[in-house]
Structure 1
Amino acid sequence: MRIDAHHHLWQPLRGDHDWMPDGDPILDRQYAPADLAPILRRHGIDRTVLVQAAATTDETEYMLGLADATEWIAGVVGWVDFEDPSQRRTLERLSRHPKFLGVRPMIQDIPDDHWMLRDDVAWGYSAVTELDLTFDALGFPRHLENFHRLLTRHPDMRVVIDHCMKPDIAGGGFETWAPGIARLARDTSACIKLSGLVTEAAEGWTLDDLRPYAAHVLDVFGPDRVMWGSDWPVCRLRAEYDAWLGAAEAITADRPEEHRAAIFGGTAARFYRIAA
């Protein structure tokens, strides 16, 4: 299988995408399964993972409805309020849905960089682990140290790091990012998504801009812990789906075939337990 391990679908008129710039010509519009389907067919993508983009359980329910109606959506990564321990019951209910995979707190948007380490949200990590769900880690390089603390505290939690932890490619931030990524690879069992790199690059990016970051991730995590994701439609801020997929394929072209099979499908299938 070829799997897109990270994309979004949304309807801004639902009113819960607080981060979205009003009137943005790329983001502030509906993206539905019918918009993505022909792109997937063009590139032979068999299954996808639909990921939350709003800090509401209402959006999670909306995405599960899309997944129920769309065969190629293999599963949904949703959201629950980690600041409300009573949401354990919501998480238990969602976990019974056959296409509910796990959760993603929107940590990158939380002003307190130490939020993830607070005692009052720790129940969430325990619940994710006990229910055998997944945890998508969304943050910036400034969060690397705290994610290292979090993941080593919860070694049994199934974790994937989103968007390579968003290195500042446009600003040349390799040196401030690379050591923290290597520590996470060395000291935890987390996987990582080869996604989001074009969005962190400058306008007019080239393969040479992306290559050192992708190579570092592949070298320290290994192909069996790396999964490709489009981050569509957010990627459209810098590149269309075709261009980003083509860039990722070009960057990995010198890797053995079995490594590329893992990156573009096998790792995601194993981590998210996506059946053929």
Structure 2
Amino acid sequence: MIIDAHQHFWRLERGDYGWLTPELAPIYRDFGPSDLAPHLARQGIGGTVLVQAAPTLAETEYLLELAGESDVVRGVVGWVDFEATSAPEEIARLARHPKLVGLRPMIQDIADDDWMLDPVLAPAFEAMIRHDLTFDALVLPRHLPRLRRLLARHPDLRCVIDHGAKPEIAAGRFDAWAGEMAALARETRAWCKLSGLLTEAGEGAGRAELEPYVAHLVAQFGPARLVWGSDWPVLTLAASYEAWFEMARSLIPDAEDRRAVFGGNAAGLYRL
């Protein structure tokens, strides 16, 4: 089965998407299962992982409700307040839902770059380990040394790096990002998502701009620790669903590797 390991739904009237403003006109509207369904059907995609887009428990409950009504959504990556003393209990409660497969604090939007290393968060990370949940690391290149330290503290925490850590492709920055990603791949058991790269590549970018970055991720993590995701509908700021799907497949030329990256690995990562 082909699995899209990273997509979003949102309803603007819910009001907790602080980053989603009218300036992002192409995606400043509601997106739900009926909007995604035609894309999945055209590409023969049988399942998705639905990922949070707002830092609220209310949105996580909303996503779990949608997932409960949809056979195609195989898992939900939600959100909890990792700083709250009640975080372990909240994680235990959410984990009782059969489709809750992971959690994602929105680290890229947190002012303190060292936030993930605060000892107050340790009970939340330990609760994730107890409940066999995946930690989606929404980080930028500058966070990668901190992420390596975090995973050294919690070696049993199953982690996937969202969007390849958003390398600065449009600016042509490669070496520092590449070195940190290589160290993470070598020193930790982290996985990496092949997603979100086109939106980092700038207007008009295509396969040529992405190829060195994807080749590095494949070389460092190997096809067994990479998972493909669309990042739809954010993707539509840069390309169509179909264009990104075909481009990503062309960047993983081996048929057996494609089967893993485009489905099998997501099932293992998220315990689908």
Q: One fold, TM greater than 0.5? A: yes
Paired residue for 1:271? Answer: 269
Amino acid at match of 1:266: G
- Deviation of the 1:206 alpha carbon: 2.0
Return the alpha-carbon distance in structure 1 between the equivalents of residues 109 and 61 of structure 2: 21
Return the alpha-carbon distance in structure 2 between the equivalents of residues 245 and 212 of structure 1: 18
Amino acid at match of 1:259: D
Paired residue for 2:44? Answer: 44
Structure 1 residues 30-87: Cα deviation after superposition (integer angstroms, max 9, x where no partner): 0000000111010000000000000001000000010000100001000000110212
Paired residue for 1:59? Answer: 59
Instruction: Indicate the percent of aligned positions where both proteins have the same amino acid.
Output: 54
Partner SS, residue 85 of structure 1: coil
Q: TM-score, normalised by structure 2?
A: 0.98
Alignment partner of 1:215 is 2:215: yes
Partner SS, residue 112 of structure 1: coil
Alignment partner of 1:182 is 2:182: yes
Return the alpha-carbon distance in structure 2 between the equivalents of residues 47 and 143 of structure 1: 30
Return the alpha-carbon distance in structure 1 between the equivalents of residues 256 and 56 of structure 2: 38
Paired residue for 2:115? Answer: 115
Paired residue for 2:228? Answer: 228
Matches within 5 A, 1:100-179: 100-179=100-179
- Deviation of the 1:132 alpha carbon: 1.2
Return the alpha-carbon distance in structure 1 between the equivalents of residues 90 and 206 of structure 2: 44
Q: TM-score, normalised by structure 1?
A: 0.97
- Deviation of the 1:273 alpha carbon: 1.5
CA contact (8 A) 1:21 1:27 kept: no
CA contact (8 A) 2:91 2:124 kept: no
Paired residue for 1:5? Answer: 5
Paired residue for 2:256? Answer: 258
Which has the larger displacement, 223-232 or 79-88? 79-88
Amino acid at match of 1:51: V
- Deviation of the 1:153 alpha carbon: 1.1
Count of aligned pairs between the two proteins: 272
Partner SS, residue 269 of structure 2: helix
Structure 1 residues 103-138: Cα deviation after superposition (integer angstroms, max 9, x where no partner): 000000000000000111121111111111110001
- Deviation of the 1:27 alpha carbon: 2.1
RMSD across aligned positions (CA): 0.9
- Deviation of the 1:232 alpha carbon: 0.2
- 5+ residue gaps, structure 2, are none
- 5+ residue gaps, structure 1, are none
Partner SS, residue 26 of structure 2: coil
Which stretches of structure 1, 4 residues or longer, exceed 4 Å deviation after superposition? none
Which has the larger displacement, 4-13 or 20-29? 20-29
Partner SS, residue 75 of structure 2: strand
Return the alpha-carbon distance in structure 2 between the equivalents of residues 27 and 112 of structure 1: 28
